[in-house]
């Protein structure tokens, strides 16, 4: 047997669960429905709760259009809207910099051993030969 329903308890139910009887606790639903059938004052209370539910049941907000979104971003204090071209260029700039740095270091390391292997002996020999040839022309 369900407990007796009072106007105050019905008001508490509608405040907590809304005007839809399906949301009310099952143990109190039958007593509340009987009170609604018997009392015009309880029906007025339910109509007030239904009006509140209608106000609270707002539709989903529409998604902003791209133009509205851009306008909002531009109007924000200190905001700077980055276009897709600028954002896209940074995607390539950093990898290109890393690639050029890697190639430069790699080429430097590949060429360095060749330059170090030449210790200059041939140049000294050539200069010595030139020196001998020069002295032949300058001495009487």
DSSP code at position 3: P
Burial call 54-91: b when 16+ CB within 10 Å, e when fewer: eeeeeeeeeeeeeeeeeeeeeeeeeeeeeeeeeeeeee
Determine the pLDDT at residue 130. 62
pLDDT band at 10 (very low <50, low <70, confident <90, very high): very high
Q: What is the mean pLDDT of residues 103-125?
A: 68
More confident residue, 43 or 4: 43
What's the pTM? 0.41
The three-state DSSP-derived secondary structure of 54-86 is HHHCCCCCCCCCHHHHHHHHHHCCCCCCCCHHH
Give the distance between the most distant pair of CA atoms in the chain. 146
pLDDT in tens, 18-69: 999 999 999 999 999 999 999 999 999 999 999 999 888 877 778 889 999 8
């Amino acid at each position: 047997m369900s407990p007796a329903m009072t106007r105050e308890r019905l008001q508490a139910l509608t405040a907590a669960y809304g005007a839809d009887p399906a949301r009310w606790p099952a143990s109190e639903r039958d007593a509340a429905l009987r009170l609604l059938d018997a009392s015009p004052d309880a029906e007025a209370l339910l109509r007030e709760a239904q009006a509140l539910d209608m106000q609270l049941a707002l539709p989903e907000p529409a998604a902003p259009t791209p133009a509205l979104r851009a306008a909002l971003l531009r109007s924000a204090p200190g905001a700077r809207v980055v276009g897709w071209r600028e954002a896209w260029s940074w995607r390539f700039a950093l990898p290109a910099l890393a690639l050029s740095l890697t190639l430069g270091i790699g080429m430097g390391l590949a060429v360095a051993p060749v330059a170090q292997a030449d210790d200059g002996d041939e140049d000294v020999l050539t200069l010595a030969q030139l020196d001998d040839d020069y002295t032949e022309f300058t001495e009487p």
